[in-house]
Amino acid sequence: MTLKIDKNWTLFLDRDGVINERLPGDYVKSIEQFKFTEGCLEALAMFARFFHPIIIVTNQQGVGKGLMSLEELENIHNYLISEVSKAGGRIDKIYVSPYLQSERHFTRKPSVGMGIAARKQFKDINFRKSIMAGDSYSDMLFGKRLGMKTVFIGNTEDARKMGTLADYCYPDLFALANALKNCSQIS
């Protein structure tokens, strides 16, 4: 990675499959089902030195399907934030789109609504100095539509399927954090 990262950069993160383990064919509906991906907490502690703010943008259509309530989702997110904080990391805000994919709501990735909401709240966000890290086509398209650098989290074979949407590919957040540490202007 050849970026020169400093505290003027923003990190946008997807949740399922990036921060926590994805449940194939299901949704994480409780704290008991929420499991951090390997190295994630260490990576988030490193990111706290590189970025301000750190934002999660997550589609959660399980709410729209009635499989969990917004309150249950908020409990999961409070747990996530608490565990990240205990590990020395920081999440500044979590934006959620609870809508069904079929609704094509402006906030649901790959639409840019959650990014626009973040910039309204965090006035210093410059999308050209932002990274979107995610594990899906919609994450990469969301980042590109806003002019961000995009990082595909997963294997290189899946990253190739993204074509030019993925600027970089790392197997997990810990590998991304180590790459950023090597090009960061933060000591």
**What's the pTM?**
0.95
pLDDT greater than 80 at residue 163: yes
Residue with tokens 């949704």: 27
Question: Measuring CA to CA, which residue among 182, 171, 140 is closest to residue 37?
Answer: 171
Amino acid at 159: A
177 three-class SS: helix
Q: Name residue 97's beta-bridge partners.
A: 59
Among candidate residues 6, 16, 26, 135, the one labeled active-site is 16
- Which domains are seen in the chain, by residue range? 10-183 (3.40.50.1000)
Q: Which of these ranges, 3-12, 123-132, 135-144, 165-174, has the smallest mean pLDDT?
A: 3-12
pLDDT greater than 90 at residue 185: no
Q: What is the pLDDT of residues 51-101, one digit of tens each?
A: 999 999 999 999 999 999 999 999 999 999 999 999 999 999 999 999 999
Distance CA 186, CA 5 (A): 8
Among candidate residues 6, 14, 26, 135, the one labeled active-site is 14
Q: Which residues, 6+ apart, have CB-to-CB distance to 45 below 8 Å? A: 84, 87, 88, 89
Q: Which residues, 6+ apart, have CB-to-CB distance to 56 below 8 Å? A: 12, 13, 14, 15, 19, 77, 80, 91, 93, 94, 95
Question: Measuring CA to CA, which residue among 54, 58, 122 is closest to residue 88?
Answer: 54
The band of 186, judged by pLDDT with boundaries at 50, 70 and 90, is very low
Region 2-6: mean pLDDT is 79
The band of 187, judged by pLDDT with boundaries at 50, 70 and 90, is very low
Peptide bond preceding 53 in cis form (omega within 30 of 0): yes
| Residue 16 is among the residues annotated as catalytic for this protein | yes
Q: Provide the 10 A C-beta neighbour count for residue 60.
A: 24
Radius of gyration of the chain (CA): 15
